[in-house]
Structure 1
Amino acid sequence: MLPLPDPLRPAAERVLGDRLEFAERFVDLLAEQGPERGLIGPREVDRLWERHLLNCALMADAIPSDARTLADVGSGAGLPGVVLAIARPDLSVTLIETMQRRTTWLEEVDAELGLGLEVVRARAEDLHGQRTFEVVTARAVAALDKLARWTLPLVEDGGVLLAMKGSSAADEIVKAEKVLTKLGGVDPTIAQYGTGEVEVPTTVVQVRRRAKASRKGDARG
Structure 2
Amino acid sequence: METEGVENRHEQILDADTLGRSEAVREYFGTRYEKVSAYARMLMEQGELRGLIGPREVPRLWERHILNSAAVVPYLTNARSVADVGSGAGLPGVIVAVMRPDAEVFLVEPMERRTAWLHEVVQELDLSNAVVKRGRAEDYDGAFEVDAVTSRAVGALSKLVRVSMPLVSVGGELVVLKGRNVREEFDAARKVLRKFGAGEPEVLPGETVEGVEATTVVRAVRRR
TM-score (norm 2): 0.88
Alpha-carbon distance, 1:146 to partner: 0.5
Structure 2 SS opposite 1:187: coil
Post-superposition Cα deviations, 1:174-200, rounded to whole Å, max 9, x if no partner, equal 221111111111131000121772432
Post-superposition Cα deviations, 1:22-52, rounded to whole Å, max 9, x if no partner, equal 0110011001111111000011111100000
Percent sequence identity over matched residues? 48
Residue 13 (structure 1) aligned with residue 33 (structure 2): no
The whole-number CA distance in structure 1 between the counterparts of 2:158 and 2:26 is 32
Aligned to 1:179: 192
Among 50, 56, 61, the alignment partner of 1:43 is 56
Post-superposition Cα deviations, 1:83-106, rounded to whole Å, max 9, x if no partner, equal 111111111111000000000000
Residue 157 (structure 1) aligned with residue 170 (structure 2): yes
Aligned to 1:146: 159
Alpha-carbon distance, 1:58 to partner: 1.7
Residue 33 (structure 1) aligned with residue 46 (structure 2): yes
Residue 199 (structure 1) aligned with residue 174 (structure 2): no
Post-superposition Cα deviations, 1:109-153, rounded to whole Å, max 9, x if no partner, equal 011000121000011001112211001001001100011011000
Among 78, 91, 108, the alignment partner of 1:79 is 91
| Pairwise CA RMSD | 1.7
Alpha-carbon distance, 1:4 to partner: 4.3
- Long gaps (5+) in structure 1: 214-221
2:71–2:208: 8 Å Cα contact kept in structure 1? no
The whole-number CA distance in structure 1 between the counterparts of 2:23 and 2:89 is 23
1:96–1:119: 8 Å Cα contact kept in structure 2? yes
The whole-number CA distance in structure 1 between the counterparts of 2:101 and 2:217 is 21
1:70–1:136: 8 Å Cα contact kept in structure 2? yes
Aligned residues: 209
Aligned to 1:167: 180
Residue 115 (structure 1) aligned with residue 127 (structure 2): yes
1:72–1:93: 8 Å Cα contact kept in structure 2? yes
- Long gaps (5+) in structure 2: 1-12
Alpha-carbon distance, 1:12 to partner: 5.1
TM-score (norm 1): 0.89
Distance 1:170 1:20, change over 3 A: same
Distance 1:158 1:114, change over 3 A: same
Structure 1 SS opposite 2:72: helix
The whole-number CA distance in structure 2 between the counterparts of 1:202 and 1:185 is 23
The whole-number CA distance in structure 2 between the counterparts of 1:196 and 1:19 is 15
